[in-house]
Amino acid sequence: MNKRCSWCLSDPAYIAYHDNEWGKPIYDDQTLFACLNLEAMQSGLSWITILKRRDGYYRAFDDFNAQKIANYDDAKVAALMQDVGIIRHRAKILAIIANTKAYLAITAKQSFSDYLWGIATPDGKPVINHWQTPEQIPAQTEISAKLAKQLKKDGFKFIGATTCYAFMQAVGMVNDHLADCDFR
C-alpha cells in the first residue's frame, strides 16, 4: 500500500492525478499553457471541480490549440456559456481567450517553457521541498508572486500568487509531495 499526500485521499480522480501527474516536471509549451489556464479556472473553486471537468475543457477549447482560441468570437463565447462540460463563468472564459493572446505574444519571442521556468526557477530545475505536514506547505511564495506579477504584466487574467503556486506544484516547478509520500 502506497503512502500518499493527504490532500488527495478523498477521491479516486485525485489519487490518480496525485500519483501520475502532480509534481512531475513539464516543459512542453502547449501542456504548460493548458495547465496554467486550468489552474486559472480553479479560482474560487476546488481543484477536484476542475479536474473532473478537465476533459470538458480540452474539448470545449479545441485541445487548448492557441491558434484556434485566439480566433474565438462572440458566437463561440456564447456557445461556451452553454457548455455543461465546463464552468460557465463568462469572465473565466474570456480570460482563457486573453491568456491565449498573451501566450502567443510570448511564444513569438521565446518558448513558453523557458519563459515560465526562467521566472520560477533560476537554474531551470525543480525546487524540492521537504515538508513533513500539509500545514507547512505555503499557499503562495515570493516566487509565485513574482510569476503572477509578470504574467499579469504580459496580459494574463485570473492569475494570482496562489494560482501560480498551485500551477508551479502541478507542473513540477516545485515538488511539494510530503517527505514520506511514496510519489515524491
Residues taking part in catalysis = 17, 39, 47
C-alpha grid cell for residue 56?
Answer: 470538458
174 burial level (CB within 10 Å; 0-12, 13-18, 19+): buried
Residue type (1 letter), 132: Q
CA atoms of 94 and 21, how far apart (whole Å): 27
Segments in the chain forming alpha helices (H): 12-20, 29-41, 47-51, 54-60, 66-69, 74-80, 90-107, 112-120, 142-153, 161-170
Q: Point out which residues pair with 175 in neighbouring strands.
A: 128
CA atoms of 88 and 178, how far apart (whole Å): 34
